[in-house]
């Protein structure tokens, strides 16, 4: 791998980065970010936020700017959506993770977001990366759906080089010849990132699989692989979801998943004394 001198590529030889968001420490604790694909209404967002908070999530996700394949699909509520997210944060205390798609929006979206998300389609939008490199909000950088680890870390480097050290990587699946799942969730990237980078990495099994029945096992597998957290799409009433309905977990499914993650985490802590896989020692 080239560019080993760049800071995003430093693995075990330097201290791992912890990204602090409120009282959540990404890189130390296993974090669960959950919420709707998109902010559809105040009722939908606040109800969903209360449900995920109750189940034990650490942060709320929700898109106000939705980069959609078709220009005729719902594009998000924009500023109105950000104001709803702000209200959901006030009601639940959950920090808000939301996507920014345009460099011109970065500074004002910072007034509403606790973490700025860069989506898969914008991973190599270098002017956007430079812009988020200048602000003091952590950035969740999703892996481009056609990107190698090296390309991804170079994009993280744009943000770090701009002066923002708080980058969280997010594996969300890559395009392969497989069509059964929406994407191919590359969990091997988790220990690979741990080998070559100090940055925390979380996993998005919702977009990574696009199939409800597969999200839970892949969430547990992400934890077992040493990920620092997961980001999951949840809707208080999935049948009504405007966006990514087929992968929206119901409150019951999400609560069930949280219980299993808790049990797996306890097993992993016990095993940490015996095994030394990346992410297992704590
Ligand atoms: C999202 O998380 O809302 C999203 C659009 O994901 P991705 O960029 O990974 O497709
Ligand atoms: Mn989605």
47-66: per-residue pLDDT in tens? 999 999 999 999 999 999 99
Q: What is the pTM of this model?
A: 0.95
* pLDDT (0 to 100) of residue 13: 60
- CA dihedral over 211, 213, 215, 217, signed as positive or negative: negative
Q: Where are the beta strands (DSSP E) in the chain?
A: 19-21, 24-26, 31-35, 59-61, 96-99, 115-118, 139-142, 167-171, 201-203, 229-233
The tens digit of pLDDT for each residue in 158-216 reads: 999 999 999 999 999 999 999 999 999 999 999 999 999 999 999 999 999 999 999 99
Q: Is the pLDDT of residue 25 over 60?
A: yes
* Domains of the chain: residue spans and CATH: 19-274 (3.20.20.70)
Q: What is the share, in percent, of the chain residues with pLDDT greater than 70?
A: 93
75, 69 Cβ separation under 8 angstroms: no
SS3 letters across 201-224: EEECHHHHHCCHHHHHHHHHHHHH
Share of residues in the chain with pLDDT > 90 (%)? 90
DSSP 238: G
Looking at the DSSP bridge assignments, the partners of residue 38 are 63
Predicted confidence (pLDDT) at residue 276 exceeds the cutoff of 60: no
Query: pLDDT tens-digit profile of 112-161?
Result: 999 999 999 999 999 999 999 999 999 999 999 999 999 999 999 999 99
Determine if ligand 1 sits within 6 Å of the CB of residue 37: yes
Distance 120 CA to ligand 1 centre (A): 6
Ligand 1 atom nearest to 145, measured from its CA: 9
Q: What does the pLDDT read at residue 7?
A: 77
12: pLDDT strictly greater than 60: no
CB 24 within 8 A of CB 95: yes
Q: pLDDT category, 4, cuts 50, 70, 90?
A: very low
pLDDT tens across 201-214, in order?
Answer: 999 999 999 999 99
pLDDT at 282 over 80: no
182 lines ligand 1 (CB under 6 A): no
The DSSP bridge partners found for residue 229 are 31
| pLDDT digit string, tens, across residues 221-264 | 999 999 999 999 999 999 999 999 999 999 999 999 999 999 99
How remote is the CA of residue 237 from the centroid of ligand 2, in Å?
Answer: 15
Q: Which ligand is nearest to the CA of 210?
A: 2
pLDDT at 5: 46
Measured between alpha carbons, how far is 5 from 256 in angstroms, rounded to an integer? 43
């Amino acid at each position: 791998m080239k560019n080993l001198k760049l800071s995003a590529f430093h693995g075990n030889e330097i201290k791992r980065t912890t990204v602090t968001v409120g009282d959540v420490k990404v890189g130390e604790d296993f974090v669960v970010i959950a919420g709707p694909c998109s902010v559809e209404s105040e009722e939908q967002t606040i109800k969903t936020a209360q449900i995920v908070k109750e189940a034990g999530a650490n942060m709320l996700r929700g898109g106000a700017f939705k980069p959609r394949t078709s220009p005729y699909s719902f594009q998000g509520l924009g500023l109105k959506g950000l104001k709803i997210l702000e209200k959901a944060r006030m009601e639940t205390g959950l920090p808000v993770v939301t996507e920014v798609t345009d460099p011109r929006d970065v500074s004002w979206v910072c007034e509403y977001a606790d973490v700025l998300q860069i989506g898969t389609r914008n991973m190599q939008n270098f002017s956007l990366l430079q812009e988020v490199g200048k602000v003091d909000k952590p950035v969740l950088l999703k892996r481009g759906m056609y990107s190698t680890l090296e390309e991804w870390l170079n994009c993280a480097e744009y943000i770090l080089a701009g002066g923002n050290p708080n980058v969280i990587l997010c594996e969300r699946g890559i395009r392969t010849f497989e069509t059964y799942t929406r994407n191919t969730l590359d969990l091997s990237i988790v220990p690979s990132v741990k080998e070559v980078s100090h940055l925390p990495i979380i996993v998005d099994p919702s977009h990574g699989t696009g199939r409800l029945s597969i999200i839970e096992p892949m969430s547990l597998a992400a934890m077992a692989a040493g990920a620092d957290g997961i980001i999951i799409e949840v809707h208080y009433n999935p049948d009504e979801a405007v966006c990514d309905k087929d992968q929206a977990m119901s409150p019951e499914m999400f609560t069930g998943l949280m219980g299993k993650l808790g049990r797996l985490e306890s097993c992993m802590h016990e095993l940490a004394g015996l095994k030394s896989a990346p992410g297992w020692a704590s």
